[in-house]
Amino acid sequence: MNDFDFLTGTWDVANRRRMDYLDETSEWEEFPAVSHASRHFDGGANFDELEFTTKGFSGLTIRLYDVEREEWSLYWSSSTTGKLYPPVVGRFTDGRGEFLGYDTYAGKEILARFVWSGITETTARWEQAFSLDEGQTWVTNWIMEMTRR
């Protein structure tokens, strides 16, 4: 239940994001962000806000732990849309968290995957990938390398 406790605090975030989330040959763009994360419900909930100041928007993630199912649901929202996107759901195994969920992107049905890895006291890595074929192939389209402030 305390899998996301590591994220509590302030982080500098180096972002690497594809210009086209579905094209594995698309160019990458790089930009900074700052994350402020907090712990709630004795570790059963986590909230963070990401400030992408050079991009002119913010994002937030709400993470909730389902005690019965022993899994997390992660919900994303962006200040550019004001919309709460469908969750990705999953759990941590051996220090790696993998979370999957269905959504649409550019009018296409996708399976989204978030992966948390490389978690230490001072670093963490998050990556997002989309699949158009139910997870047979993936296009990694956003990577965040986090360093604790």
Task: Return d(Cα 85, Cα 76) in angstroms, integer.
Answer: 6
Give 25's DSSP letter: T
Half-sphere exposure of 37 (CA within 13 A, CB side): 23
Averaged in consecutive runs of 10 residues, what is the pLDDT profile of the chain (149 residues)? 95 98 97 98 96 96 97 97 96 97 96 98 98 98 98
Q: How many domains does the chain have?
A: 1
- Segments forming the whole domain that contains residue 96: 5-21+28-148
The conformation of residue 84, written as its DSSP 8-state character, comes to B
For residue 53, the domain's CATH number is 2.40.128.20
* C-alpha torsion 96→127→30→49, nearest 10: -90
The confidence score (pLDDT) of residue 1 equals 83
Q: Global pTM?
A: 0.94
